[in-house]
Structure 1
């Protein structure tokens, strides 16, 4: 048996039959492309919606914190600032502990199913927490929420990376990360409005049902994309069967080889790297044995850790992101409470007037967070697409500039709040807009300097580190400092919290320095990762030991003035060009100036074939 008949491989004779198959196949390819586009769009919508609910649940606590601090007889827990900060810190602590675990699993398991389990756990914990009768019980529920959210936050960006190419990825990520400011703003607003009209506990009973429904859609009906497929790599071969390695020599080279299957994104089977590790070109070939062996990452976790943290731009951008999360964690947790004390409590308002004042502050704070977050996200995405190339470090520089702008405005916003509320809102607006620019570029950096099979692990490690020393630390640290100042120096509540928030500006400046250092290594790390990009092929026969490789290039237009070259590879035992097209590959190999406008053919021995 010269050819495996399983899973759609077939052999035919004659050019007419090949042409007929090509025409019939083109219609199928259009249908597959349309289905893939719809599937990707639905997946992104579901991921965006889950991320939106994620941040609503996360920051609803900040919107109702003042009500939780009321005495128990008034429906609160009677907690202080340090305990209020602990609510966010314990959530972040469990979130970061579980992040590398779910990152490791995300590189080795079905990611959609993993998200389904995590979102179900998080939604259940949020709902049960609304019935907590004591602060400790509520604290345990918040810790469980962190475990559930860790499964989602580290895996979702890798799904998007495997559905879209690098050019499209930044735009889609900007849409995905719009859920961060929008969800945070809705969390503040939901908490404030629910406390005003119902009870603060109802703020935690609205979102869990929606989260669970979306998790069902993702985990049950949507399929996971192949890891690395959008980068020109494919690591799942379980749906295909190829040539039997023992019978490959029996293949008639005057026959055509065609695949009937395709991957979920419409891409046909992928052969291994065109260029070997020692620099010599290796002829791509696919065998049934190789199909069964190609799986997600088989490295140990310690090997992944060593390789990931060896990427210097990743290390320094993670340190910069840690500063960002420290600043945002402190401001998101304590910003509304600080303004409540400055604007509402110190003005002598009581009863319903006090509740209405707090709700109004939450509304304005939420709207500013929403507008600046969405605007900053799209602005960061646009600037990244406009200026970032393989030859520069525009993404890291963009993050650096954003933090440099944010640092002084954070300080001024806290400083002038007690003197002019309108000036404080203006300062907060500029600071949050500058920070919002960072989210897309910093995620894009991770995705293009880390290998596709290690992205979920890298995301988990980055999440763990940035949250451990960022927003897991800052809320409780700010609350502890405020309590200490009030207790030791007898400082008023608002003044104590104001002094405790000032160090956030220093951390913003430190983050800018970290991104500046990352910029020194980013271009080299990106080129090093791109140099390993393998070529996509439809099928390659493994015929003889030292055949001649015939390459035919067809130039196709691409965005940005670049060009794509379709390489048609075939293997024969003589230097005569092949009569049949046996393989096809699509990969950005040739620059525009080297591409030929007309179809041309060249011959090259395997050792002479190089990826340009």
Structure 2
């Protein structure tokens, strides 16, 4: 179930690109901004969902996922019914709600249920869905858009997601390691109400004539107190995460890495068309991405399991794969031959996609179990806010300025070396 949902979540981004690409009044920067709007909303909502789950661990996380996927389904159908840039941008913001509720909880769930010798391999199969969804977005958006209409691509995906949204409401409740059972959460609620009742009695003692008003203020104070407690707990947990040096270094490298990957996924076909005059750039990049994404991501997970799934080995694999991948991609964009470019770029993508399982393994195992959902959320928030959210518009700005896609892609690819250096340190 989680694999299918993940593919569908990743699929929608490329449909938007294909649909908005035909709007003549949009510059490169505004076109890229449409994608970044969704990612920004996704990061904010994911942080809220993960913090809510951490503070309200007695709730069924699948119920939260079901609500999010329902909003996602409605918003995706809304994208298909949009009539201008702002209408589709608003719907894309709502799409982020569904993505956020799912992503922050899926990795800890897999980590809890995977066999110990194969934890990284299981993670790699899950994160394989990202390049698979992106690549299918190239193909699906192009085929449906050319044969029917781009609106049908959105409507079709909304229909595909609907059964998963319903299933999330009826599936057996999920209990993650590191969280107290539901009874503990109920006990906390009873204690909170008891404290609120004491506060109410104090207010009633001041004046019996205003007992009703005091009671209302007491109920309000209980809600405010619980909110402040949750906010305080979230701040404390975030502070603990930011004090974990291993976690922080891992996320910093991931930010630099995702800056490049985000721009690649958005501008890759357009750059390929302009540099190498590819007549079917979307299909070609989609094919390369899906093969390299699947093979590279799974290989990275299995290699780390064979090396021994430790944080130290994960960093070694991250730095080596990213460095070698950067060399291959950089050399590929220097070549004038299309076939030479495709060969080296394929090798480069195989290497850089091998980082997906190791980088998330470090995120999960460099913190205590109760903070895993929050660690995944903050990691994802960081790589989007500082990575692919600004990268697509910034690459658009750079290209508008230099008007040379080869120079733009070379400048972008060089950032891979920064990521490799951070992970090496």
Q: Shift in Å at residue 430 of structure 1?
A: 1.4
Q: Using the alignment, how far apart are the partners of 1:102 and 1:134 within structure 2?
A: 30
Alignment equivalent of 1:236, drawn from 181, 186, 190: 181
Q: Using the alignment, how far apart are the partners of 1:213 and 1:133 within structure 2?
A: 27
Q: Which residue of 2 aligns with 1:339?
A: 272
Q: Using the alignment, how far apart are the partners of 1:421 and 1:202 within structure 2?
A: 33
Q: Is the 8 A contact 1:479 1:500 kept in 2?
A: no
Q: Which residue of 1 aligns with 2:242?
A: 309
Q: Using the alignment, how far apart are the partners of 2:85 and 2:24 within structure 1?
A: 6
Q: Using the alignment, how far apart are the partners of 2:16 and 2:48 within structure 1?
A: 26
Q: Is the 8 A contact 2:135 2:289 kept in 1?
A: yes
1:90 counterpart = 2:7 = no
Q: Using the alignment, how far apart are the partners of 1:331 and 1:157 within structure 2?
A: 25
Q: Is the 8 A contact 2:62 2:171 kept in 1?
A: no
Alignment equivalent of 2:370, drawn from 453, 472, 483: 453
Q: Which residue of 1 aligns with 2:87?
A: 137
Q: Which residue of 1 aligns with 2:3?
A: 48
SS of the residue 2:138 aligns to: helix
**TM-score for both structures, normalised by structure 1:** 0.59
Q: Which runs of 5+ in 1 are unaligned?
A: 1-45, 71-75, 240-296, 346-356, 486-490, 518-612
Q: Is the 8 A contact 2:118 2:305 kept in 1?
A: no
Q: Which residue of 2 aligns with 1:593?
A: none
Q: Using the alignment, how far apart are the partners of 1:302 and 1:221 within structure 2?
A: 32
When structure 1 is superposed on structure 2, of 504-513 and 157-166 the one drifting more is: 157-166
Alignment equivalent of 2:257, drawn from 315, 319, 324: 324
Q: Using the alignment, how far apart are the partners of 1:112 and 1:237 within structure 2?
A: 14
SS of the residue 1:470 aligns to: helix
Q: Shift in Å at residue 298 of structure 1?
A: 11
Higher relative contact order (CA 8 A, sep 6+): 2
Alignment equivalent of 1:405, drawn from 319, 324, 329: 324
Q: Using the alignment, how far apart are the partners of 1:449 and 1:94 within structure 2?
A: 27
Change (3 A) 1:298 1:201: closer
Q: Structure 1 or 2: larger strand share?
A: 1
Q: Which residue of 1 aligns with 2:110?
A: 160
Q: Shift in Å at residue 156 of structure 1?
A: 1.2
Change (3 A) 1:381 1:337: same
Change (3 A) 1:507 1:344: closer
Q: Using the alignment, how far apart are the partners of 1:374 and 1:205 within structure 2?
A: 26
1:57 counterpart = 2:12 = yes
Alignment equivalent of 2:337, drawn from 400, 414, 420: 420
Change (3 A) 1:465 1:137: same
Q: Shift in Å at residue 188 of structure 1?
A: 0.5
Q: Shift in Å at residue 299 of structure 1?
A: 7.2
Q: Is the 8 A contact 1:330 1:501 kept in 2?
A: no
Q: Is the 8 A contact 2:270 2:281 kept in 1?
A: no
Change (3 A) 1:222 1:315: same
Q: Using the alignment, how far apart are the partners of 1:218 and 1:171 within structure 2?
A: 25
Q: Which residue of 2 aligns with 1:377?
A: 297
Q: Which residue of 2 aligns with 1:505?
A: 413
Q: Shift in Å at residue 81 of structure 1?
A: 0.8
Q: Using the alignment, how far apart are the partners of 1:78 and 1:415 within structure 2?
A: 32
Paired residues for 1:541-556 under 5 Å: none
Aligned alpha-carbon RMSD (Å): 2.1
- 1:56-81 deviation digits (Å, cap 9, x = unpaired): 1122234x16xx343xxxxx353111
Q: Shift in Å at residue 168 of structure 1?
A: 3.6
SS of the residue 2:181 aligns to: coil
1:147 counterpart = 2:97 = yes
1:368 counterpart = 2:301 = no
Q: Which residue of 2 aligns with 1:209?
A: 159
Q: Is the 8 A contact 1:99 1:151 kept in 2?
A: yes
Q: Shift in Å at residue 165 of structure 1?
A: 4.7
Alignment equivalent of 1:173, drawn from 89, 106, 123: 123
Q: Shift in Å at residue 237 of structure 1?
A: 6.2
Q: Structure 1 or 2: larger helix share?
A: 2
Q: Using the alignment, how far apart are the partners of 1:306 and 1:113 within structure 2?
A: 28
Q: Using the alignment, how far apart are the partners of 2:133 and 2:369 within structure 1?
A: 28
Q: Shift in Å at residue 131 of structure 1?
A: 1.7
Q: Which residue of 2 aligns with 1:551?
A: none
- 1:432-475 deviation digits (Å, cap 9, x = unpaired): 11111001111111212211111111111111111111110110
Change (3 A) 1:200 1:78: farther
Change (3 A) 1:422 1:440: same
SS of the residue 2:389 aligns to: coil
Q: Using the alignment, how far apart are the partners of 1:514 and 1:450 within structure 2?
A: 19
Q: Using the alignment, how far apart are the partners of 1:414 and 1:201 within structure 2?
A: 34
Q: Is the 8 A contact 2:28 2:400 kept in 1?
A: yes
In the alignment of these two chains, the number of paired residues is 377
